Amino acid sequence: MTRVTVVGAGTSAPQPETPASGILVETASTAVLIDCGQGVIRGLMPLRDPRELDAIIVGHLHADHYIDLVSLRYLMPWAGFTGRRVPVLLPPGGRRKLDELASAISERPGFFDHTFEVSEYDPERRVEIGDLTIDYLPGRHYVPAWGCAIRDRAGGFVVVSGDTGPNEALVEASRDADLFVVEATLLTAGEDDPTRGHLTFDEALDMGEEAGVGMTVLVHHRPQNHDALFAACAARTDAVPGRPGLVIDVVPRRSRRTGGAANQANGDGSVGDVPMGAASRAARAR
């Protein structure tokens, strides 16, 4: 079974209530962090040791999606390192950007390579990390950006959109996903550039509904939109606002049809063994 935890649901502007982008995807034997924005490593530390992640995947190279690689690097030993290097998968061009980041923070060449296994992924190629299979999904953003379609060996199917504007290809790629974690930055489309790069929360919810997903979780949202965003989620079936500590255990739909359940946990440690629809309502009630 796959467990998805919202570590950070914020945007590039710092928010006291949440780190920036960071979604933890775990099975019994594998742990992958999708994006690593500011504050994410500190938010992850109570959940698991970030130095033991099987991989970190960065969807695009805006700071709110990768800058906390610096924080993780400072957790690693400075001298005499003999342990495993954390795999960091960057989009095309990412290695150069990471070298530039090392220079910008006045560190030596190879600063990140010392304790990270840095590579650039090919967005056209499927990858396997432990018992997870991952396909990259192109976003519509101001810079090249990708989300992830993640499948486990039990048939669980999770999509993490990354940053994107309206995106029919993403809808198609997310058909019948058990869980759709999608950005919801805007209140209205008029706040965006003429060439779109983000979604309104209504657009994000509509995409989940059109794709027929089991549950939609809205992330990458702004405090000034919360009242309207939370109300929009409450008015729909199987949609919740993503907040730090929201945990969803993903049960494949075929299991639910035969009496299985989706376990849903919250940041206070409470756990319920409830059907997926009830899980979303429980999350909203807290």
E-assigned strand segments in 91-172: 116-120, 127-129, 132-138, 146-152, 157-160
Residues in Cβ contact with 79 at an 8 Å cutoff, skipping those fewer than 6 apart: none
pLDDT tens-place string over residues 132-141: 999 999 999 9
Hey, where are the domains in the chain? 2-285
The candidate with the shortest Cα–Cα distance to 203, out of 242, 175, 161, 148, is: 161
**Cα-flanking dihedrals φ and ψ of residue 104, to 5°?**
-65, -30
Give the confidence band of 219 by pLDDT, cuts at 50, 70, 90.
Answer: very high
Query: Residue 256: what pLDDT?
Result: 54
Starting from the edge strand earliest in sequence, which strands make up the sheet with 239-241, in order? 127-129, 132-138, 146-152, 157-160, 179-183, 216-219, 239-241
274 has a pLDDT exceeding 60: no
Mean pLDDT calculated for residue range 176-187: 98
The answer to whether the predicted template modeling score (pTM) of the entire model surpasses 0.85 is yes
E-assigned strand segments in 27-66: 31-34, 55-57
pLDDT tens-place string over residues 146-167: 999 999 999 999 999 999 999 9
Q: Considering the chain, what is the average pLDDT of its residues?
A: 89
Query: Residue 255: what pLDDT?
Result: 61
Query: Residue 84: what pLDDT?
Result: 86
Distance between CA atoms of 102 and 110, rounded to whole angstroms? 8
**CATH classification code of 2-285:** 3.60.15.10
